[in-house]
Structure formats: structure tokens, C-alpha cells
Amino acid sequence: MSRSGLCLRACGAAALTVAAALSLSGCAGGDPQPFTLAVTELESGQCFDLAADEAFALVKPDCSWQHDHEVFAMKELDGASFPGDDAVTDAANDFCTTEYIARAAASPSENDRYSIEFFGPSAKGWAEGDRAVLCSMVSASGQPSTGSAFAGLGGAAASPTP
């Protein structure tokens, strides 16, 4: 059975401006290299390792590089006031499970190779404008992966979610 988890982000606008230098293909004539990015700036389809502070991610040039997480869906939550940790957890779990089923054509409980983890805003993050829920796949064994999790499951590749 897959496990679900919520990692509450407490990174605000200041953390976004601190995101480390991006190493882009072709800038120095070298091969693409991993780069650091605020978790709130990740995009669907990116593979990454989470930093110890859970505010930043080491993004891999593509999913063929060894990685811990693969982003498969994102959504902005609605509301002027923070709904509470339980409501964020419930909304993230429902959204990520629905998106997983749409891509993998199976329930997360039917997959013993990968687990779903999701990241959502904390009360502090919400006050600073963070409303994003990010869904990621992680290896159920806890070991790094190579390749796309959904390609390995025979499902649709990750794509941006409106």
C-alpha cells in the first residue's frame, strides 16, 4: 500500500529570491547540471532531491538522473484565510490521489513500487501568498530512482495541471 505524506512549506517570498544560480544547457558550453530551486517554483515533470530544510530542491536536468522525487501535478488552493493543516492535508491527498489515478490508471494502493508525497502551504506560507499543492512520486523502498515513475508504470507522463 502506498503511503501519503504532507510536508508543510514555510518558505516565503524571501526564499524565492534566494533560489541558487541555474545551470542552463549551453550557457558555458557544458552539459546540463542539477540546479537548486525553491520548492514553490518546481514544475510538473521535474525530478528532484529535497534539501534538508524542505524549502529547496536540487532539480535534475531530466529524470534519467538519479532522484528521490518526481513532480506529477500541482494545484493552487482557494481561500483568503488559511483553512488549517488538516484541511490542507485532506485537499492535497484528494487532489494527488485523483491525479495519480488519472495518470497511472490504477489506485495508489495497487502500486508497491512508488508512494505519493505531497507538499502544501503552512499557515506562515499561506500568509505570504503560498497556496500551491505539489504532488510527487517517491520510491516506496526509499532508494533513489532513475527514469520517470509514470513511464515505468505504463501510465501517462507527468504534465502540467491547470
pTM for the complete prediction?
0.75
CB atoms near residue 70 (< 10 Å): 27
pLDDT of residue 159: 38
> What amino acid occupies position 157?
A
pLDDT of residue 46: 94
Distance CA 109, CA 61 (A): 30
Question: What is the residue extent of each domain of the chain?
Answer: 6-22+33-149
pLDDT of residue 97: 94
Nearest to 70 by CA among 162, 161, 160, 158: 158
> In a structure prediction context, what are the per-residue pLDDT tens digits for the chain, which is 162 residues long?
222 344 444 333 223 222 333 333 334 457 889 999 998 899 999 999 999 888 889 999 999 999 999 999 999 999 999 999 999 999 999 999 999 998 887 788 788 888 899 999 999 999 999 999 999 999 989 899 998 887 766 554 443 333
- List, as one string, the DSSP characters of 74-121: EEEPP-SS---HHHHHHHHHHHHHHHHHHHHSS-GGG-SSEEEEEEEE
Alpha carbon 44 to chain centroid, angstroms: 7
With a CB cutoff of 8 Å and minimum separation 6, the contacts of 38 are 11, 15, 16, 18, 19, 55, 56, 57
